[in-house]
Structure 1
Amino acid sequence: MAQQNVYDRLKELGIELPSVSAPAAAYVMSAQTGNTIYLSGHIAKKDGTVWVGKLGATLTTEEGRVAAHSIAIDLLATLHAHVGDLNRVTRIVKVMSLVNSTPDFIEQHLVTNGASQLLADVFGERGKHARSAFGVAQIPLGACVEIEMNVEVDG
């Protein structure tokens, strides 16, 4: 069975890739070695600014899931800028999510599902990945969620 064109799938989902953000410090947004691309952590944004908040205090699990979903879109924009064609993706290998949360918040995995589900929706089997989701005391600029991703592309 032929794989669906990623850009057709994004259009079906009503997703338009945004402009890629510049790094906020001394790093690059993506780096590649061999067929593996490492995407730097992307923080949640809402209405073009940092989405500040702490899960379990000022934000709900559902708001965190929406934030993670929006980060996945930003990650795809960075990946597109790096490879030029998202159809070259052979596998989303690993997603790591940091959730700015209170010590008693235990739904980091549900927050991260916002990104994981989008990747599966866009790439199908190629989008199913290994994953880690951590609760942390703080994220740069007070962002509620930060996600990084490792991707394999064809040669």
Structure 2
Amino acid sequence: MTIDIADRLGQLGMTLPPAPSPRGAYTGVVIHHDIAYVSGQVSRVGEQVIAGPVDHTTPPEVIRHAAHTCVLRALSALAAALPPATRVERILFLRGFINAVPDFVNHSQVMDEASSLLHEIFSEMGRHARSAIGVASLPGGGLLEIELTVSLTHEADRHQPDATPQQDAR
């Protein structure tokens, strides 16, 4: 089974934000063979950043909002880069950088919010390997930045007419 990102999000009552543009000398997504590498996406809504650092008093809803924002931005970048008739086969790896105060040790709990959303969107194909890394700062002061590694598959266009028309055999 494969997933069309926009269709699946629509089923869940979610939509993709506009595809983010790289803010430096890199590309947002590199596809090599059937693997897509999605560049880091910071917890940014439009031009506003969901800021860190996270600490023990950061409300869970702020962490959840930051994680969901990062996932949707990464999926938006991916969807914009996919060639026609290419679908997501599986999420392979999620890497998260958490802007946290030095004594914060619950990095995995922050990343659980991103992992849970990927599981919700992709079901079993959303189960992935993961790293959660605490950092002193992120671009724009963001709370979270994620990277995705995704396996892709190509599907034949089911709506393409036959190459040779059928003749009436009467």
TM-score by length of 2: 0.81
Q: Is the 8 A contact 2:91 2:126 kept in 1?
A: yes
Q: Is the 8 A contact 1:55 1:102 kept in 2?
A: yes
How far is the alpha carbon of 1:4 from its aligned partner? Answer: 6.9
CA RMSD of aligned residues (A): 2.2
What's 2:106 paired with?
107
What's 2:152 paired with?
153
Q: Which has the larger radius of gyration?
A: 2
What's 1:39 paired with?
38
Task: Specify the SS of the correspondent of 1:154.
Answer: strand
What's 2:75 paired with?
76
Q: Counterparts of 2:46 and 2:132 in 1: how far apart (Å)?
A: 25
Identity of aligned residues (%): 35
Question: What are the ranges of 5 or more consecutive residues in structure 2 without an aligned counterpart?
Answer: 155-170
Q: Counterparts of 1:24 and 1:61 in 2: how far apart (Å)?
A: 28
Q: Counterparts of 2:78 and 2:149 in 1: how far apart (Å)?
A: 10
What's 2:24 paired with?
25
1:1-150 matched pairs, under 5 angstroms:
6-46=5-45, 48-56=47-55, 59-84=58-83, 88-150=87-149
Q: Is the 8 A contact 2:54 2:101 kept in 1?
A: yes
Q: Is the 8 A contact 1:6 1:86 kept in 2?
A: no
Q: Is the 8 A contact 2:6 2:16 kept in 1?
A: no
Q: Counterparts of 1:45 and 1:35 in 2: how far apart (Å)?
A: 28
Q: Counterparts of 2:3 and 2:31 in 1: how far apart (Å)?
A: 25
How far is the alpha carbon of 1:62 from its aligned partner? Answer: 4.0
How far is the alpha carbon of 1:79 from its aligned partner? Answer: 0.9
Task: Specify the SS of the correspondent of 1:97.
Answer: strand
Cα distance change of structure 1 residues 140 and 86 upon mapping to structure 2, 3 Å threshold:
farther
Q: Is the 8 A contact 1:100 1:139 kept in 2?
A: yes
Q: Which amino acid aligns with 1:122?
A: I
Q: Counterparts of 2:39 and 2:101 in 1: how far apart (Å)?
A: 24
Q: Is the 8 A contact 1:42 1:146 kept in 2?
A: yes
Q: Which amino acid aligns with 2:145?
A: E
Q: How many residues align?
A: 154
Runs of 4+ in 1 over 6 A off after TM superposition: none
**Between 144-153 and 48-57, the greater mean CA deviation after superposition:** 48-57
Cα deviation code 1:7-36 (max 9, x no counterpart): 443123221111111111111100111111
Q: Which has the higher helix share?
A: 1
Question: What are the ranges of 5 or more consecutive residues in structure 1 without an aligned counterpart?
Answer: none
How far is the alpha carbon of 1:103 from its aligned partner? Answer: 1.2
Cα deviation code 1:44-89 (max 9, x no counterpart): 0246412222101773344223201111011111111011569711
